[in-house]
Amino acid sequence: MKELSRIGYTYVSGKRCPLIVGDQTHDYGRSNKKADNWWVKISEDYYLPFLQGWDKIYCWEFKLKENQTCKSKWGSNTLRSGIQTDMILNGRKLFDFGSRDWGYAFSRAQVYMIQLEEHPLNMLDIDSEIGRKVWYREQPATINHIFDHGISLIPDGMKEFKLDHKYDSHEDREIAQSDDRTWIKTDYFDQNVWWFRK
């Protein structure tokens, strides 16, 4: 089968497999009025038909780890508990966050799961977003690296990012005091990023 395009990846029997659009069709799609040329590539010569809406594109795994740390401040010591949550999509760690409560960790994981599935970036093949043109605080930028829970941006057509006085946050002050404004590291939910730029 010839691969026409890659949609992303899905997870089958504990293995990360490409989800592709192929040059052949399958009866499952035609008889159910779905895309009939989506396939899961199991190996070089073995493909399984994929039925959009029935089969899962997004297969999530969550790793939650509770820990305690000791904090010393002003001559006294206190214990602090926390929960670290790793969100893994189709076998790849995509996002992580910390919390202090199990209920909050579960609720937040569900919210992030929906937000990541509906995100403008292709989370199924996040590496394909390297080179994507975006706007960062009304300045042209390009995604140049993917991290476990975010991206880094470099400016387009200028040496460094410029900060406007209308943006006044802790992050802005850190960037303003930094010697290197030639790149910015941010997360998927930064409201200063506009994801659509031609």
Q: What is the pLDDT of residues 138-147, one digit of tens each?
A: 899 999 999 8
Q: Which H/E stretch holds residue 61?
A: strand 60-73
- Report the pLDDT value the prediction gives residue 64, as an integer from 0 to 100: 94
Model confidence over 128-179: pLDDT tens digits?
899 999 999 889 999 999 987 789 999 998 888 887 655 555 555 555 455 5
Please tell me the predicted confidence (pLDDT) of residue 59.
Answer: 85
pLDDT confidence band for 107 (50 / 70 / 90): very high
Q: Are 153 and 146 in contact (CB under 8 A)?
A: no
Question: What is the 3-class SS of 78-119, one letter each residue?
Answer: EEEEEEEEEEEECCEEEEEEEECCHHHHHHHHHHHHHHHHCC
Q: What is the spatial order of strands in the sheet that 139-147 belongs to?
A: 184-187, 150-155, 139-147, 133-136, 193-194
Which residue type occupies 56?
A: K
Residue 104 has pLDDT above 90, yes or no: yes
Q: DSSP secondary structure string, 22-38?
A: ESS--HHHHHTTS-SSE
pLDDT value for 12? 84
